[in-house]
Structure 1
């Protein structure tokens, strides 16, 4: 078996189970970032095309593999909120239309739609689920003739409950509605069938499960929306922008595909080299292998902590995303107490969120269980 832990500079004594908050950079990714900053010290050593065009195109191509898309369908964005705002600008709604979201959805994927509803007269419909109900069933029950847009992810970011995106997409399309996905908590660690889901827009921040630098992300734009309106106007997303001698021959036409939706300064000379390495690493390993490893670690943890009164009781919980119910007498600062033992996870109310990645080992699981035993008695 491959020692994926060796790809990271994580001390042997550290058990890091918090990829859902921020994934660590691999050594090769960090080295690419260091080299990029050194290159900025001597910009005369690099050609204009290499910096401004070749680099983002390489990133676009690698990101497309993670989505299962064509490179032309990918825009480079700084955050999930940027991609969601782009989607909102290109979806036509009218008064009385319903925008369907999940109860407790991540704020960036709520505020965007509240603003759109205010602008258009649309109505936000927030979906809750019963204790034994899956998020998929709750969402399907809410989609109806007034539904014009469904915005969700592949799982709920708080409890890890999975959403069957193929089933949701079928229901959405039956109403002639749009589907916008924020896959920040699943892309790169959970297989995604783009063809089967056929969403309108998909965005993912890269700093969590894709193990990239902060302020990097990717937006999939379905071909049917690629003649839409970008969130901003900048020089580099216009046609023939490579010709620096003619930049003031202003053009109304854009570069092909989803490139018109690229953020300004998309060719981030310091961040993109690191982002490129993280994408290459994931594609070399394979998303199915990443998913298998994370699921195996989560399964081992579920079994080991059950005697301590911690249970994975969320219906249809995503395999890489453990949300464990805690005993009633568990300390409110459990995550802080774990941190004191160099074990890292997140606490969400009465639940402990554990998000493993390819660097986690059986020894990490043992450290987590031992720490929980010491704290919970």
Structure 2
């Protein structure tokens, strides 16, 4: 797999080894063009119909709903960031003193700070499930520890489908069953999975799913998506804007103020959610992701990463068991003998782009990557070992 048939969709030079989509995805050429077209459209605002504030957003919600397999697109809100989506969730949850909110160790800050504030406000407990120290069956043990931690005092389990730095895969179906049993909410951060790993709201029934839009969904920085289930149907939004109120599409009647919000997740949309530039770029991005399908993306990444992970283990790296990790994103812990700063210099000299997150070097691949990219990374590691 020396040449990717999908690379022409992107504008990535041949000498660049980009294994860092988990940090920031490269734009499709179609997404770039959509953004340019939208910028030019704003130059002639008299040609922009009022329907452009609404119709493209509806189409965007429909595409995201299809991607995550949810029947009602009105349960989708377009938002500016994961932190906005999580803050909306915590803004609508009340806890009892002594209840707990469960998080995984070293979750991304956007899925930590709001929960810390919520539990502090209600004298509740933030229950962090640490990663097992064992390198053997680590993912299995971590799943078991999380499963056992859910009890009658648990109000919320807030977590990713995978761990954002190690790539550890969590059994959401079993966790959902346990949270149902104890009447706890399940809030999922899908930023590092949705788009590259199959996710079905119809099957898993989370209470909310929040996703950054600029990673595996290939949108511009500053966009995100949220699914809100029935628990949030009558909640309070973070902001009062004209578009989340009933009949807001009737522009001549905007000063006939409405007490009612639009139904379902529409009450949670951000102000200026009809941003012409962002929405057009997001539509072009989701159209391509849906065409490829997360299943095909994951299969491609599995083919690439299995052999590479095996060779990296032989070089002394610690990587999650293949059965308990994602294949588009995985972290490796380097041998203790490696000089990290020297290794970073070697990677830079070979135009290799990866992320260093905590104790992990995080590798993330997509359809534009080939075995040559992993071979280049492995060559750099061998040079660092020498």
Q: 1:42 & 1:361 partners in 2: Cα distance? A: 43
1:349 Cα deviation (Å)?
4.3
Alpha carbons 2:168, 2:320 under 8 Å: kept: no
**Greater mean alpha carbon deviation, residues 237-246 or residues 358-367:** 358-367
Pairwise CA distance, 1:375? 2.7
What's the counterpart of residue 383 of structure 2?
Answer: 374
Confirm or deny: 8 A CA contact 1:205 1:218 kept in the other structure: yes
Decide whether the 8 Å contact of 2:87 with 2:114 is kept in 1: yes
Corresponding residue of 2:55: 54
Q: Equivalent residue for 2:240?
A: 233
* Aligned residue among 88, 99, 104 for 2:106: 104
Q: Distance in 2 between matches of 1:89 and 1:349?
A: 30
- TM (norm. structure 1) is 0.95
- Counterparts of 1:275 and 1:248 in 2: how far apart (Å)? 31
CA distance in 2, matches of 1:313, 1:358: 22
Which residue, 242, 252, 267 being the options, matches 1:260? 267
> Do the aligned partners of 2:166 and 2:320 also contact (CA within 8 Å) in 1?
no
Structure 1 distance, partners of 2:28, 2:168, is 28
**Structure 2 residue 125 is the aligned partner of structure 1 residue 123:** yes
Query: Alignment partner for residue 251 of structure 1, among 232, 242, 258?
Result: 258
Could you tell me whether the CA contact under 8 Å between 1:203 and 1:220 is conserved in 2? Answer: yes
Q: Is the 8 A contact 2:168 2:330 kept in 1?
A: no
Q: Structure 1 residues 323, 94: CA separation in 2 closer, same or farther (over 3 Å shift)?
A: same
Partner of 1:363: 372
Shift of the 288–236 alpha-carbon distance from structure 1 to 2, 3 Å rule, reads same
RMSD, aligned α-carbons: 1.7
- Please say if 1:63 is aligned against 2:64: yes
Aligned counterparts, 1:54-203, within 5 A: 54-69=55-70, 70-130=72-132, 131=134, 132=136, 133-134=138-139, 135-203=142-210
**Which consecutive unaligned segments of at least 5 residues does structure 1 have?**
none
- Secondary structure in 2 matching 1:296: helix
Structural mapping, 1:198-213, within 5 Å = 198-213=205-220
Length, aligned pairs only: 376
State the Cα distance separating 1:366 from its structure 2 match.
2.5
Deviation at 1:44, TM superposition (A): 1.2
TM-score between the two structures when normalised by the length of structure 2: 0.93
Structure 2 Cα separation of the partners of residues 306 and 94 of structure 1: 46
Q: Could you tell me how far apart the structure 2 residues matched to 1:337 and 1:316 are?
A: 30
Which residue pairs with 1:348 in the alignment?
357
Matched residue, 2:329? 321
Determine the C-alpha separation between the residues in 1 that align with 2:305 and 2:344.
18
Question: Which deviates more, 250-259 or 21-30?
Answer: 250-259
Residues 1:19 and 2:21 are matched in the alignment: yes
Which whole-Å deviations, capped at 9, do the CAs of 1:306-349 have from their partners, x for residues lacking one? 44323424571222222122111112223443122101111234
